[in-house]
Structure 1
């Protein structure tokens, strides 16, 4: 029940943050969907981070139309991997230095996407 609550909270934060940043034309600069999925994975674990990462682009598209149609399909696996990998790194205590953890998750995600 706790994971469901955290997932719903992170999804609400993600949609609201995306809306606010796109409202002032900062959405492409700060990538709110990626940021929220990474935070969800780092704070709430791999399961919550993965679910948030997989659902957030779909919810954002359905509520605001952003990201546009073909783009959100490519973002689903990317944002999912961001949230999941950061959750796994948190659980395994890999690289307790937070900036390095985010860099490693970014590198790993880009590596998986190019396969």
Structure 2
């Protein structure tokens, strides 16, 4: 439970920093960042495996068999970020590419946090 809470807080910080760095990402403030990070976490929990499976089927498992399965997971995570964009009011990404970059950054930072915690 504590590691999940740490991930939500760190994801919110990453969202805030990314909103400052990328002109196509809009975020109102820290409270909105926490809500969006929580929303991304919940959507990821419920939808990530479905989206990854659909993307693996759509690409005939090419990325999976080549050992590049993380690419489909990143794209699934970008789709989840797009869904969070539609479901929240204070968070906006203009286009799919900012969501893809956010997904990459959050995945890298999340992996580093997991490595440090474990």
* Between structures 1 and 2, the one with greater strand share: 2
TM range (shorter): 0.3 to 0.5
Higher relative contact order (CA 8 A, sep 6+): 2
* Between structures 1 and 2, the one with greater helix share: 1
